[in-house]
A and B are shown apart, each in its own frame.
Chain A
Amino acid sequence: MKIKNILSAFIILLFFTKLYAQGPHLVKDKAWYIPDYVKMQFAGNIGVVSVGAGYQLFDKVLYSELLYGYVPESVSKADKIHLITIKNTFPVFRKEIAKNLTITPIAGFTTTIDIGTTTFTTLPSKYPDDYYVPTAFHFTLFGGVMIHKDFINSKMTNGVDFYVEMGTVETYLWYGITSKEVGLSDIFSTSIGINFYL
């Protein structure tokens, strides 16, 4: 049920930012705070589904996004998991493979904070100093491929990115590097996602 809500939120977000972005101005004149695109991702250790909005920064050298991700009880087999993520993606190069169609190898990292009750961002006072490091923060690293399609004269969107990534979490990567018992297939998983340009 909750996944459905997130999808609705995503569509509403898409609709309203689109409305704002169009307004009475040309797209080029849009206010600085209007995102360049809205996005939705499946998996990748930042939620079953995560939705949010992003900016193309420094002349499209960096794609920076704020996302909310959710894992329902049926998947977590425990309480619902809520995650806030800042995702940074770097396009390595762009190659045009057809008219209005480019392919881009991508790499990047995310910073995720769990906003649930089972984790903590600062050590609760009942523990002696330095008993634990905070459990609510995690980082993921990923690499993949993104395909960008420009839509000219489309009322819905100016373009779409579709991407596939392989990624891991900082802790997993550390175990993979330091232990013979932990292999690459143990620590890497896949995620897919879409960006809609406004």
Chain B
Amino acid sequence: MKFIKIIVLFTITLTFSNCDNLFEYSVYEANVKEADKNTTAKNIKLLENIKLESQDFKFAFITDVHYFYNNLRTVIEDINKRDDILFVIFGGDIADQALLKEFEIFSDIMQNLNKPYFTVIGNHDYNSNGSVIYKEMFGDYNYSFTFNNNKFVLFDDIIWESNKDPDFDWLSLELADNGNFNQVFAFAHIPIVVSDDLSFEMKETYRSIMIDNNVSLSIHGHTHSYFYEEGIVDYLIVPALKELAYGVIHVKDNLFNVEIIEL
């Protein structure tokens, strides 16, 4: 009888144990919490509430958090203090091993941001069940939004981890209406400059799509260090959050200006 009593006692203790995750079954689970789903759609709604009179605003670009969570929080708090930055774009590698736990930690930290944010998928995010988790938690891999008559196109150019080629047809089609906008900005995790992950043909295809569609600036992460190339289309790589650094892009009429903030 005493044996049964102890088992009952254990069961009760267990039930009242105040763990966030009472039971976990595998690191590879893709069971995204309801509250964490559809982040992209939710943030597009938030962005729609921001109305501007002038063609003069700033947005921030942060990228490659991997597991540098303290730095992510520090950068978020710094961006929060700046009223001139209206929204944030995250350049991929949300996770390091693409575990649900990593996506959840990222999402929890980003809850502290007092502005809308948008993500582009990184190569690390595709591993294991990461692509499933990303789709549930954020939404489409390729998408775009408009703000204050400017277009922002976020493009998935991950090839090895996803076993597919970048959807350049989608990119061309999405940029075809560029004439309707003041400026167009493109974002993809892997850059066509510095990095050799993409094939020569892919890089050339991307480059010509950028030129043909009058893209102002193409912004990337992945290589973890700063790079800037001026041309018909400019290319920017922002350092990883391994450094306490982020990019600020100042958009004014038909011009833009890039600044790297180091904390």
Known: A181-B109, A185-B19. A171 touches B31 (CB 8 A): no
In the complex, the answer to whether A147 meets B105 with C-beta atoms within 8 Å is: no
Partner-contacting stretch, out of B80-88, B126-134, B141-149, B230-238: B126-134
Residues A81 and B160 in contact in the complex (CB < 8 Å), given A147-B3, A164-B10: no
**B-side interface residues, number (CB < 8 Å):** 43
CA separation between A147 and B22, bound complex, in Å? 21
- Asked if A126 and B73 sit within 8 Å, CB to CB, the answer is no
In the assembled complex, the CB of A10 is this many whole angstroms from the nearest CB of chain B, namely 17
Q: How far is the CB of A2 from chain B (nearest CB, A)?
A: 13
CB of A179 within 8 Å of the partner chain: yes
Which residues 16-39 of B have a CB within 8 angstroms of A? 17-32
A-B contact pairs, 26 of them (CB 8 A): A45-B25, A46-B26, A69-B26, A76-B30, A76-B31, A76-B129, A78-B30, A78-B129, A81-B26, A101-B3, A119-B127, A127-B160, A135-B97, A138-B27, A147-B7, A149-B3, A164-B14, A166-B19, A169-B101, A171-B99, A178-B67, A180-B70, A181-B109, A186-B20, A188-B19, A192-B10
Q: Measuring CB to CB, which residues of chain A are less than 8 angstroms from any residue of chain B?
A: 42-48, 69, 71, 75-79, 81, 83, 97-98, 101, 103, 114, 116, 118-119, 126-127, 132, 135, 138, 145, 147, 149, 162, 164, 166, 169, 171-172, 174-175, 178-182, 185-192
Q: Does B164 have its Cβ within 8 Å of any Cβ on chain A?
A: no
Asked if A43 and B97 make an inter-chain contact with CB atoms under 8 angstroms apart, the answer reads: no
Closest B residue, CB atoms, query A76: B29
A148 closest partner in B (C-beta) = B3
CB-CB under 8 A from B59, the residues of chain A are none
Residues in chain A near residue B2, CB distance under 8 A: 97-98, 101
A75-B29, A118-B128, A188-B19 known, 11 other contacts, Cβ within 8 Å: A71-B26, A97-B2, A103-B6, A119-B127, A126-B160, A147-B3, A169-B101, A171-B97, A179-B70, A186-B20, A190-B19
CB <8 Å contact, A162 and B10: yes
Closest approach, in angstroms, between the C-beta of A13 and any C-beta of chain B?
Answer: 21
A187 partner residues in chain B, CB cutoff 8 A:
101
- Whether B136 is near chain A, meaning CB under 8 Å from some CB there, is yes
Q: Which residues of B contact A48 (CB under 8 A)?
A: 25
CB pair B99 A43 closer than 8 Å: no
**Could you say which of B21, B69, B99, B132 contacts A182, with CB atoms under 8 Å apart?**
B69
A112, chain B: closest CB distance, angstroms: 8
Cβ–Cβ < 8 Å partners of A174 in chain B: 67
Assess whether A71 is in contact with B29, with CB atoms less than 8 Å apart. yes
User: Separation in Å of the A34 CB from the closest CB of chain B?
Assistant: 26
Considering only CB atoms, which chain B residue lies closest to A98 in the complex? B2
A162-B10, A181-B105 known; A175 and B67 CB under 8 Å?
yes
**A114 with B19: CB separation less than 8 A:** no
Which one, B31, B70, B73, contacts A75 given CB within 8 A?
B31
Chain A's closest residue to B112 (CB) is: A181
Interface presence of B108 (CB below 8 A): yes
- What is the distance, in angstroms, from B179's C-beta to the closest C-beta of chain A? 39
CB neighbours of A188 from chain B (8 A): 19
Q: With a CB–CB cut-off of 8 A, which chain B residues contact A116?
A: 28
Residue of A nearest to B196 (CB): A128
Q: Are A192 and B18 in contact, with the CB atoms below 8 A?
A: no
User: Is B28 a contact of A81 with CB atoms below 8 Å?
Assistant: yes
B69 touches A175 (CB 8 A): yes
Nearest Cβ on chain A to B19's Cβ, whole angstroms: 6
